[in-house]
A = this chain, B = another copy of it.
């Protein structure tokens, strides 16, 4: 048997996150606070080692609080602070502490003030929100009625915060973040730092192979890869002294070199934002003609603020009629080759670039499924066209390449949007002919 290893050392304090709510645990709405809190705590140098979601159940919340507080230096709880009978976080914390609830005079006054400002009397049920376990303190909530609660449970600091993110997040920054800095300071300063490098167009296995020595267990900084759609990300974690001595930045640069030209950005930089940086530098505009993505490439591009500097717009040519009428694809071409073809992809890309007067025209036409596939053109087959009208005296160059994607309709559409934008980015960088993930082995980049 392998030796049992424990993630947390004595030197490194850890945190836990508890989310409360029937709808969350039943899967009726998606729990989002846990991931956000984990990422924020990590930025502050504290690792979360457990995230738990339980129902609106006083016993379950109490048990979770006790178990989590026994294992770490911090427990952050969200939800269950509303005014209804279902909101039981206060009561459960009192149970875990073995104390009674009592009314907090200042919290009650704040509640009454909120309702006075709203111009209506406070409902009787809301008075419950001024209760806190004896010996704890209330945390002001500038954006709602539910105050938070700060407590000490055994060796752990416990914070109860309301569930709505717009209320929870400012309270986290105001009150929990300073407490975290105290915890890490007592443990001897920053213990962990993280960074990430994103790539698009490499298979995950090849990406991992390229940075294998950095991924070996025991290495510090340690690199792991995750794949999400067409994007493979290296997550780099530096522990102890490596968190502050420049080792993290060196590891980031090493990954970027190994993944060139596929690496497009670090940390929060998205693929369309990275594309935008290149197109702005090249003073080039992009237009699109989308069939199977139906506008998804444009929506992805325009998720970037300021994208109007490098994206003009284009066509959603979902019907064949619009491929002809809007983009000028000849009826003969459509009849002969079909909408999902190299020829139509090229014509659409040229139509987009010409009619929108942009340097680059990008087209996407494929079989997104689940219906519409055939032996010759199966579900997941997508042709992408790219027209480069060049600069100055350069000739117009139009290329098309085909991809075979796996997955359901949404997956096919999302992945091809990413890969096609990476193609534009690489082309703008003069690297448009490198192989791309999911490309079909034959028919590659025919000019």
- Contact surface of A with B, Cβ cutoff 8 Å: 1-2, 4-8, 22-31, 34-42, 47-60, 64, 67, 84-86, 88, 91, 94-95, 100-101, 166, 194, 196, 217, 224, 226, 228, 235, 288, 290, 292-303, 305-308, 311-319, 321-322, 325-326, 355-357, 369-371, 407, 409-410, 413
Distance of A298 Cα from B54 Cα, bound (Å):
38
In the assembly, what is the distance between CA of A252 and CA of B369, in Å?
Answer: 32
Chain B residue numbers with a CB within 8 Å of A5 are 57-59
25 pairs, A vs B, C-beta closer than 8 Å: A2-B91, A7-B55, A25-B48, A26-B194, A27-B41, A27-B48, A31-B35, A49-B55, A52-B53, A86-B224, A294-B298, A294-B299, A294-B302, A294-B307, A295-B299, A295-B300, A295-B301, A296-B298, A298-B316, A313-B316, A313-B319, A313-B322, A314-B316, A321-B357, A325-B356
Check A91–B196 contact: CB distance below 8 A: no
Whether B60 pairs with A7 at a CB distance below 8 angstroms is yes
Q: How many copies does the complex hold?
A: 2
In the complex formed, the residue of B with least CB distance to A86 is B217
Q: In the complex, A350→B264 CA distance in Å?
A: 40
B1, B37, B292, B313: the one within 8 Å of A318 (CB): B313
Q: Is the CB of B293 within 8 A of A299?
A: yes
Contacts of A294 in B (CB 8 A): 295, 298-299, 301-303, 307, 311, 313
Question: Which residues in B have their C-beta under 8 angstroms from that of A26?
Answer: 38-39, 42, 47-48, 194
Chain B residues near A36: list those with CB within 8 A.
Answer: 27
Other A-B pairs, 20, CB within 8 Å; known A27-B34, A315-B316:
A2-B58, A6-B59, A24-B51, A28-B196, A29-B226, A49-B55, A52-B52, A52-B53, A86-B224, A290-B295, A290-B298, A294-B311, A294-B313, A295-B295, A303-B409, A305-B371, A312-B321, A313-B316, A313-B318, A314-B322
A307 cross-chain contacts in B, Cβ below 8 A: 294, 318
Min CB–CB distance A170 → chain B (angstroms): 13
